Structure 1
């Protein structure tokens, strides 16, 4: 087991020290003292204690006469609050820290080293402390013990240059009064890596699933211990895809075949086996979202919290019905306004849902008492539900220490857990229950959590799950929600802005579809994954993930677009339209290249003129592969070139894809133009009237002349009848029924230039 490690330097950080405390001087030489093992974990009166570890000279000087010594603070700590009050002593120079008194009466309690300790040199120590050397009573309690290093640097007297402390619970002669029902919550979560389908951003999830990886170690705890899994269902979906096969997409877009298929398959089988053994599964909101960050941002991001919880409720899938829909909040994110908003109000919410909150969210003075039960009704006047049933995980069980530098050391975590639970077991009668939940980012490799699981075998511990703890407390006490700062999210504003863009594209796509429920599930999953708290500390991965998913969403939206045949050097040019007169129409064609039926509209707006008026068109439904060519009715009050844009929209009027530039040539007559047109019309009708008048007058004149000629002809005819021979030229019949050509005078009158 990895040991507790303390870098002892005069410039040690002031973690846990009061704000007004001054840091230790920086000119003292320092060594690092590491406690690798401490046993037994909780000695009984009369039992010796063996402490093993290492000393490493981290300074630049050599220590003469080096020595390791066991030490103890003989103040008996009899309550959990006393444990919380142990001083870190970060503001005291190492050579002046005297709370842990050295044991020197028995040579087993100290170990001189044979050679001077040179810089960067490491030596091992083994100290055995007989019970009598502690010089403490035989009552149950907790003591601060440790190992100190003393040596003589150049030009100085002997000093204490390093120290490591730990907690030693002592089981007194009086038996403990009650067992402690303990539910260990083991978080199984990982930042998103799936980019959609078989594509993954990297192999970090597969690496973590290996037996030596953090998720592999954590999963193995369920083989020998009863635990409660706290799982992100989005991670389970990703692991299932890994098991089916996947590729890793590099920065340059090239793909390589993933190598974690076998590891993922094995991990899933072990997870299912753990469930079959009775380990409870609590599913987090899908994607493990940054609840506080989303709620602080308001709409539209606020709604994603409820969507994530609904997604978990609906997508339990293979785990249904053996899972609990859960929520886990810690720090400022556990404030009443967040707890009230995230714990209910979503589709599928039930009274069986679990709300898990860390006790570290409260200040020490307002923290609920957790020595009997962790179940409370938390008052949340900010929300629709005035009271929220909540399980409060005891954060002191994972604090480690008392030295802050070793707070996450597996050995220190084990000793702290044993100390706190031993005091609870000795502190009263009746049932006692605790829930221990490692905080986010607390145990990067899973070793400290493994130490907690091993502690479930302590004689006063009875392992259980969270469901049994809740069932054992049907009528909990009430407590106020913790106070918090104005904002408490973990994602940066840049990351939140990326989520907004992806949400806008996803919502636009959903409202474009005739059946909004037909939105591809991968788009919803990608949006919720983009909200993950796991992105904290990985800004570049978060940026790349959001950019890729946004590009994918925009690619789908771009499949519904205006048809434009004008292409210049591979780029689409503007569509040219002529508008003659004050009003006119022109066609535009929209095509649907998606696999779903969509409802579309079109909006045309001017970029440089305010007089362009477009008649609003109703939306239309296009099936997959269909086109729609509406005629756009437009009007303009002035002549000239109008630059406009045509934008495809969804049913809500939101833009779909990129807009298309239009060049509209308006040919409109002004008042002068209308005067000229009127004058031309008057001239046309005037000349026509004159021509008609002259023609009528000419015809009348010709008719009178013809009548006179006819009279003369009759007289001549009478004379010829009396004996004159007829002229053959005048007596011939019409040729083939065609009348004779008209009189020359008539032809000249009709076709003359005079009109």
Structure 2
């Protein structure tokens, strides 16, 4: 039996209830002479909430189901085995005998015959609940409905190299979710007209906001090297615009950025240094993100552990993150058995923290497949019954209850919740209020406020948690990031995307995607390694020094899209008594360029020495891999230099003598010719002196400036010179 619709869901005097549904024959023989009838539970309205739960879980026909109401039946044709047939019943309210306010059990049963039992007997029954309320005396129950707009992370660890550092998306599924008919689009559209408190993951907002500009989506198998253009830009603009309008004037709770898994942190990550600090950063970023994108100031003092399950360590971590309100659930923070009524949600639990204990029955009423009309109808009627019963427990005492549904409801679940909330409010026994109102309700002195110990945490949820090794990996990547950004001129271009990526690595969303958590962390670390390695020293071949002192060039390459600074290049010699490689030098390289730095090197003896070049940060921390190269010193000795100098001196003196002799011979020859001729004497030769001329030319061509030792070479573009060629020779 399936009750697919019951209208009206909250009847009043004079109404006629229409019940539509189906009957499926799951037996082995045909059902004949069948009809469907209605039954009202025997004994009038149910007495408490436990009776509602018991009736919903009951199986076959029981005496408490009451007798079938005569004259209001729907005859059915024969139903062969395996066949489903519809039914429809119209029953006047006055025929149901509803006399007092309360919750009535309503059953729809099938009576017929089979091959095995050829007499009229009840073959099946489906039960639901009918609220009957005139509201004469009871105070309406205050109901706070949380409306979560949360999704899994869609952003890869890699960012585009543009100025905005646009994220690369793991897939484009979010484009479907925010498009017309998508889950997130319907959540916003349904919630827009409801009196709800929105619960938002800021990471989802930031992700959709990034989609309002052109964005890239990873290729098959998450290949971020082969991306395609995303298709959700227009849908993103429309969704954000609709969301801003929907939340205008409503209360908004911002979860910490990327919705971190508080239980995993409490149980596995708390002792790993830096984990709680990252959680605080996620809370701070949440406020800024929601305020900037949704244009509302959210409250960030609320923690919501998964399924409201808590123990003392989870509550402690929530407080360490800055929350003084924790959303729990009554199947975790249990009420005393002696309590005969539903207490207010708010109650202090110590250390300045207030628990908002969501009602478990109401919060889990709409789980499962709500596209099935029968399930949705039963869930809605049960919600109406439970909320009415809360008010009936003590009609003169107003209650304040909290409903915290599943974190990522489907569109059909959201629609079923909305219909039930609207019907209950129209029925008059509840009034919808915001979260702030619920926090201010006076705590019930008899309400449960003892937070369970670690051993009480549900094992099914504990199995989904991130391991301690995951938090160690995250912190290791954070340490590497801290050591990298100190050399950057535009640090926020790296700290922001990597910071949010590390926050996503601790998200609750990995509970539903456990196989993706470790690869995601690995992708973050691998991508960071590629950026760190983009600033490096080029390899060098063997260097030969042919003198006592020379300059050795070492080249730094920066393949990042921004300038690097705050680095120092040091050269160290394996034999400092033989070779002094020179003083350290500051390194500044523009993005996409290389820079050669020249070190003034002093050789004290012939032979080979190994030199290690390495970059260091301003704090003296080694950066990147060192480069090691060999230096051959072939400097000549002082004796050899003296011999060579003496030889050169002899050559110069011999040249001078030969020149003097040649000039004397020339004068003598001229005098002899003058004595033989009667012409006047022209006098001495006034032409330029050859030796003087040579000296002048030598003065013009010699003494060129060969550059100062230790001077940095010019920047080169990425296609400029790389490592020096093999067999590098450096002269004086």
TM-score, scaled to structure 1: 0.66
Match of 1:398 among 353, 357, 363: 363
- Report the Cα offset of residue 138 of structure 1: 2.1
1:217 aligned to 2:186?
yes
- Spell out, residue by residue over 1:364-384, the C-alpha distance to the aligned partner (whole angstroms, 9 max, x if none): 6479998453222122xxxxx
Distance 1:129 1:242, change over 3 A: same
Q: Secondary structure at the match of 2:449?
A: strand
- Report the Cα offset of residue 425 of structure 1: 2.6
Question: Are the aligned partners of 1:393 and 1:437 in contact in 2 as well (CA < 8 Å)?
Answer: yes
* CA distance in 1: counterparts of 2:209 and 2:93, whole angstroms: 54
* CA distance in 2: counterparts of 1:627 and 1:160, whole angstroms: 91
* CA distance in 2: counterparts of 1:503 and 1:496, whole angstroms: 10
1:481 corresponding residue in structure 2? 451
Q: Give the 5 Å matches for 1:190-339.
A: 190-195=151-156, 196=159, 197=166, 199-251=168-220, 252=223, 253-276=225-248, 278-295=249-266, 296-298=268-270, 299=272, 300-315=274-289, 316-319=291-294, 322-325=297-300, 326-331=302-307, 333-339=309-315
Question: Are the aligned partners of 1:228 and 1:282 in contact in 2 as well (CA < 8 Å)?
Answer: yes
- Report the Cα offset of residue 186 of structure 1: 0.5
* CA distance in 2: counterparts of 1:408 and 1:191, whole angstroms: 29
Q: Secondary structure at the match of 1:165?
A: strand
- Spell out, residue by residue over 1:47-71, the C-alpha distance to the aligned partner (whole angstroms, 9 max, x if none): 5533211123456654444443434
2:87 corresponding residue in structure 1? 125
- Report the Cα offset of residue 177 of structure 1: 1.5
- Report the Cα offset of residue 84 of structure 1: 4.7
2:49 corresponding residue in structure 1? 80
- Spell out, residue by residue over 1:423-468, the C-alpha distance to the aligned partner (whole angstroms, 9 max, x if none): 2333232443222221224546433333344334332222221123
1:461 aligned to 2:461?
no
Structure 1, unpaired ranges of 5+: 1-32, 380-385, 566-574, 580-584, 606-613, 634-638, 668-755
Distance 1:400 1:592, change over 3 A: same
* CA distance in 1: counterparts of 2:564 and 2:173, whole angstroms: 38
* CA distance in 2: counterparts of 1:60 and 1:217, whole angstroms: 43
Distance 1:389 1:400, change over 3 A: closer
- Report the Cα offset of residue 143 of structure 1: 3.1
* CA distance in 1: counterparts of 2:608 and 2:276, whole angstroms: 48
- Report the Cα offset of residue 293 of structure 1: 1.1
1:450 aligned to 2:418?
yes
Distance 1:518 1:263, change over 3 A: closer
- Report the Cα offset of residue 226 of structure 1: 2.0
- The alignment of Structure 1 onto Structure 2 pairs a total of residues equal to 594
Match of 1:388 among 353, 357, 361: 353
Instruction: Give the RMSD, CA atoms, in angstroms.
Output: 4.8
Match of 1:409 among 375, 378, 381: 375
Question: Are the aligned partners of 1:150 and 1:161 in contact in 2 as well (CA < 8 Å)?
Answer: yes
- After TM superposition, the structure 1 stretch with the greater mean CA deviation from structure 2, 644-653 or 51-60, is 644-653
Q: Give the 5 Å matches for 1:673-752.
A: none
1:438 corresponding residue in structure 2? 405
Match of 2:78 among 98, 115, 129: 115
Structure of greater Rg: 1
Structure 2, unpaired ranges of 5+: 160-165, 546-550, 573-579, 602-606, 634-732
1:51 aligned to 2:19?
yes
- Spell out, residue by residue over 1:693-735, the C-alpha distance to the aligned partner (whole angstroms, 9 max, x if none): xxxxxxxxxxxxxxxxxxxxxxxxxxxxxxxxxxxxxxxxxxx
Match of 2:7 among 16, 21, 39: 39
Q: Secondary structure at the match of 1:287?
A: coil
Distance 1:246 1:459, change over 3 A: same
- After TM superposition, the structure 1 stretch with the greater mean CA deviation from structure 2, 71-80 or 226-235, is 71-80
* CA distance in 1: counterparts of 2:311 and 2:149, whole angstroms: 24
* CA distance in 1: counterparts of 2:612 and 2:115, whole angstroms: 82
1:560 corresponding residue in structure 2? 535
* CA distance in 1: counterparts of 2:144 and 2:18, whole angstroms: 30
Question: Are the aligned partners of 1:290 and 1:531 in contact in 2 as well (CA < 8 Å)?
Answer: yes
Q: Give the 5 Å matches for 1:51-70.
A: 51-57=19-25, 62-70=30-38
Question: Are the aligned partners of 1:375 and 1:391 in contact in 2 as well (CA < 8 Å)?
Answer: yes
Distance 1:154 1:237, change over 3 A: same
- Report the Cα offset of residue 234 of structure 1: 0.8
1:169 corresponding residue in structure 2? 131
* CA distance in 2: counterparts of 1:547 and 1:235, whole angstroms: 22
- Spell out, residue by residue over 1:292-311, the C-alpha distance to the aligned partner (whole angstroms, 9 max, x if none): 11232231444332221122
* CA distance in 2: counterparts of 1:546 and 1:402, whole angstroms: 31
- Spell out, residue by residue over 1:465-493, the C-alpha distance to the aligned partner (whole angstroms, 9 max, x if none): 11233345599988222444468373454
1:106 corresponding residue in structure 2? 70
